[in-house]
Amino acid sequence: MAPSRPTIKDVAARAGVSKSLVSLAMRAPDRVSPARLTSIRAAADALGYRPNAAARNLADRRSFTIGVLVQDLHNPISAEVIDGVQRQVRASGYHTMLVTGSADADLERGEIEKLLEFQVEGLIIIGHRMPAGARAAVDGECPTVIISRAETGILGLDSISNDDVCGARMAVNHLYDLGHRRIAHITGGSNQVALLRRAGYEAAMNSHGLTANIACYEGAFTDDGGYRGTRLALASPSKHSAIFVANDLAAVGALAAIAENGRQVPEDVSVIGYDGMALGALRSIGLTTIAQPLASMGADAADLLLQRIGDPSRPPAHVNLEPRLIARTTTSAVSR
C-alpha cells in the first residue's frame, strides 16, 4: 500500500543509467548529454520522483535552511518581519524553517534544539526576549541574528533593531511642532524597549526646554496598560494636551480611556503610538504612530545572517534602523 517514495536508484534503473548520472542530472543538467537528460527527466516524473532532503543534507553536510524563531506569533508585527526575512532568504536560494516560541522557556529551547538538529545554517530570532536556555546552545555554534528592539549588541550576536530613542524623539517632535507643550508619556513598563522609548521622550522634552512638563504614567504594552496609564494621566491636575503612548496597542487603550472620560481625540487630546501595526490604519482608529520598518528589519536580518554564514569570523554588527512617522487622525494642532 505504501510503495514508499521512489529513490534516485529507481529513476536510474528506469532510465537505464547509473544513479550517479541521475544525481548529476538533477544538480548540473548541462553536464549530461541531452539524450540522457531527457530520458532521466522522463523517468523521474513518470515515477513521481522527489529528492529526499534528509539524504541530501546528510551527504552535503548542510541544509540550505535557516531557522526562524518567532517569539510571539500573535503580535501582528511578527508577520511583517517574517515577510521581510522570507523574501530575502529565498532570494539567496535558502529556505526557511519557522518555529514558534512561547511563554514556556523549555518548549522554546526545545524548538531551537530541533532547529539545530535539523542542521540549520543560521538562526533568526524575532522578539525582544533572548530565549534563556538557547543563548548558550546557540552561542558560537550557529550564526544568529536577533531582531528586537533591545539587547543592542550586548551579546556577541548580530542584531537588528529600530532606534527607539530616535523614534520617541520623533513622536515628541511631531507633537511639539503641532504646538503641544504639555505632553505626557504612558510607559510600556520596565523592559528594555520601554525604557529606551521613555528615554527618548525625556531627551526630546529636555531639548525643547520642556523639562518641567515631563510626566510619565505607568502603563504596559497592552490595551489595558494604555487604558490604565491614560486614566492616570487624565486624572492628574496638569492638563495634558497630548499623549505619547509606548506602543500602538496601548495607544488604542488610551483612546478608550479618553473617550470614556468624555474628551475628544484629537480636539481635546492628541495621541501618538509606536510600532506602526496594521491595526492603527483602520478607519475607526486612524492612529498616528511611529512605524518601525518591519519588512526592512526582516530583510536586513537575513542579509546579516547570510553574510555571517559566509564569513563566521566577521565581527558582530548591530543595525539600528530609523523608524518613520505616520501621521493619521489622532493628532492635530493644539487648540487654544
The binding site for DNA (CB under 7 A) comprises 4-5, 7-9, 17-21, 23-24, 26-27, 31-33, 35-36, 49-52, 55-56, 58-61
The Cα–Cα gap between 192 and 129 comes to 10
For DNA, the closer CB: 60 or 141:
60
For a second copy, the closer CB: 79 or 214:
79
1 binds a second copy (CB under 8 A): yes
> Sign of dihedral through CA atoms 97, 102, 275, 163?
negative
288 binds a second copy (CB under 8 A): no
In 3D, which of 226, 166, 244 has the Cα closest to residue 200?
A: 166
Residues facing residue 161 across a β-bridge: 320
Helix segments in 208-236, DSSP class H? 223-235
CB of 203 to a second copy, least distance (A): 30
Do the strands 270-275 and 122-126 form a parallel or antiparallel pair, or are they unpaired? unpaired
In 3D, which of 306, 314, 248 has the Cα closest to residue 277?
A: 248
What part of residues 123-152 is at the interface with a second copy (CB under 8 A)? 141
Residue 109, SS3? helix
Strands (E), 173-323: 183-186, 215-217, 242-245, 270-275, 288-291, 318-321
For a second copy, the closer CB: 63 or 270:
63
Task: Number of residues interacting with a second copy: please give it, by CB under 8 A.
Answer: 56
Map residues 227-246 to x or -, x wherever contact with a second copy holds by CB under 8 A: x-------------------
> Sign of dihedral through CA atoms 200, 202, 204, 206?
negative
Options 155, 285, 317, 326; binder of a second copy; rule CB under 8 A: 285
The Cα–Cα gap between 324 and 64 comes to 34
CB of 111 to a second copy, least distance (A): 8
What part of residues 31-70 is at the interface with a second copy (CB under 8 A)? 48, 50-55, 57-58, 61, 63
CB of 116 to DNA, least distance (A): 11
In 3D, which of 161, 163, 160 has the Cα closest to residue 301?
A: 160
H or E element in which residue 5 lies: none
* Binder of residue 79, out of a second copy, DNA, none (CB less than 5 to 8 A by kind): a second copy
For a second copy, the closer CB: 75 or 320:
75
Q: Which residue has the cell 542584531?
A: 159
Options 181, 223, 295, 320; binder of a second copy; rule CB under 8 A: 223
CB of 45 to DNA, least distance (A): 14
CB of 112 to DNA, least distance (A): 17
Options 13, 24, 105, 116; binder of a second copy; rule CB under 8 A: 116
The Cα–Cα gap between 226 and 247 comes to 8
For DNA, the closer CB: 19 or 182:
19
Altogether, the residues listed in the chain come to a count of 336
Residue 205, SS3? helix
In 3D, which of 277, 280, 292 has the Cα closest to residue 255?
A: 280
For a second copy, the closer CB: 6 or 179:
6
* Binder of residue 31, out of a second copy, DNA, none (CB less than 5 to 8 A by kind): DNA
H or E element in which residue 281 lies: none
Residues making contact with a second copy (CB under 8 A): 1-2, 4, 48, 50-55, 57-58, 61, 63, 73-74, 76, 79-80, 82-83, 86, 90, 95-100, 107, 113-114, 116-119, 141, 223-224, 227, 249, 252-253, 255-257, 259, 278-279, 281-285, 312-313
